[in-house]
Chains A and B, each alone.
Chain A
Amino acid sequence: QKEVEQDPGPLSVPEGAIVSLNCTYSNSAFQYFMWYRQYSRKGPELLMYTYSSGNKEDGRFTAQVDKSSKYISLFIRDSQPSDSATYLCAMGGEPGGYQKVTFGTGTKLQVIP
């Protein structure tokens, strides 16, 4: 079993739709959670970061963490064509200082105008 499981998609939605991207994980030692966005032919860029269960909102993006279920989600409201990218979940151990980060395989999202 992989430490982090992520549906690879691809996911195709119409503009304005609400998008839900999800990851599950098996390692209960993970303490902080991130979502990266990767455009074609670009490196990943950090989109959301959180280290607690619950929701964190940033504009149209909401990151949700449920540590009891080992499940994290990224919601995108009012999706735009510019949101078309691959979204990678990532997680690591104890907060503070560098710890090895484990990535999901990424979900490719296409938002159709």
Chain B
Amino acid sequence: SAVISQKPSRDICQRGTSLTIQCQVDSQVTMMFWYRQQPGQSLTLIATANQGSEATYESGFVIDKFPISRPNLTFSTLTVSNMSPEDSSIYLCSVPEEAPGEKLFFGSGTQLSVL
């Protein structure tokens, strides 16, 4: 299984600012995913980050709000832009096992609070 390091683990931010979350994997992976976990809600996929191409966003999520970088096969960042209190959530980085790919491994998450 992959070891995923995510930082920061938590942060408190002011409305209107931006936060960049980093995700580092201990092995090269083709796909990386970013999820949001809000209280009482199921894990929701924000986007899929592929190395060398634009991220693919799920319905309800846009690049201007959640820009993603994927500079290489072991690293990705998610930025939460122009934050509002509604963005307070846990953000999780995830990678699938390389083969066959159904199982997901997760980082420890970033607890974000927006005041």
Q: Is the CB of A105 within 8 A of B4?
A: no
Number of A-B pairs whose CB atoms are under 8 Å?
A: 66
Alpha-carbon distance A50/B104, docked complex (angstroms): 14
Which of A11-19, A39-47, A59-67, A74-82 contacts the other chain?
A39-47
Among B1-25, those with CB < 8 Å from A are 1, 4, 6, 9
Q: Is the CB of A43 within 8 A of B103?
A: no
Prevailing SS type, chain A contact patch: loop
Q: How many of chain B's residues have a CB under 8 angstroms from any CB in A?
A: 24
Residues of B within 8 A of A (CB): 1, 4, 6, 9, 31, 40-43, 45, 92, 94, 96, 100-109, 111
With A43-B107, A102-B42 given, can you name 12 additional A-B contacts, CB distance below 8 Å?
Answer: A41-B108, A43-B6, A43-B106, A45-B105, A46-B1, A46-B104, A49-B102, A88-B42, A100-B45, A101-B104, A105-B40, A105-B42
